[in-house]
């Protein structure tokens, strides 16, 4: 048995073709000729220009003496060498060990009412 799709297939194919043609050509036709775009500034250059344009109050200028940076002794220490880091490593190892143990020891058959 052969079905004939001629009664509704051709109008739908025409609508699909028209929709695709409009979707491709409408944005191009609606686009305006834009002015030449200048090269965009980088974010760092734009931030420096914005900060340079801001007025600086006299009280802030008096306080703006250079301050020597001090580094703390804990700033250079690795996280995993601290007490909290060691605890985190132990907990991760325990969790991984339990996961491996439970994956290989839970091989009992499932006795469910619904299976």
pLDDT at 32 over 60: yes
What gap in Å lies between CA 36 and CA 59, rounded to an integer?
44
What gap in Å lies between CA 45 and CA 53, rounded to an integer?
12
User: Is 89 part of any domain?
Assistant: yes
User: Is 1 part of any domain?
Assistant: no
Sorting pLDDT into bands at 50, 70 and 90, what band is 99? very high
Sequence-separated (6 or more) residues with CB below 8 Å from residue 86 = 80
Enclosing domain of residue 86:
80-104
Total-model pTM: 0.31
User: Is 94 part of any domain?
Assistant: yes
Is the Cβ–Cβ distance between 53 and 47 less than 8 Å?
no
pLDDT at 72 over 70: no
pLDDT at 22 over 70: yes
Output the pLDDT for position 112.
76
Number of domains in the chain: 1
CA atoms within a 13 Å half-sphere pointing along the CA-CB vector of 35 = 2
């Amino acid at each position: 048995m052969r079905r004939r799709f001629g009664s509704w297939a051709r109008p739908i194919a025409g609508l699909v073709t028209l929709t695709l043609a409009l979707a491709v050509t409408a944005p191009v036709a609606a686009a305006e000729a834009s002015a030449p775009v200048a090269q965009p500034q980088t974010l760092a250059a734009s931030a420096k220009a914005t900060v340079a344009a801001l007025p600086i109050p006299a009280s802030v200028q008096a306080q703006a003496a250079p301050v020597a940076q001090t580094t703390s002794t804990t700033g250079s220490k690795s996280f995993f060498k601290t007490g909290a880091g060691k605890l985190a490593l132990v907990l991760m190892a325990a969790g991984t060990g339990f996961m491996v143990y439970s994956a290989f020891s839970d091989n009992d058959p499932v006795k469910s009412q619904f299976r």
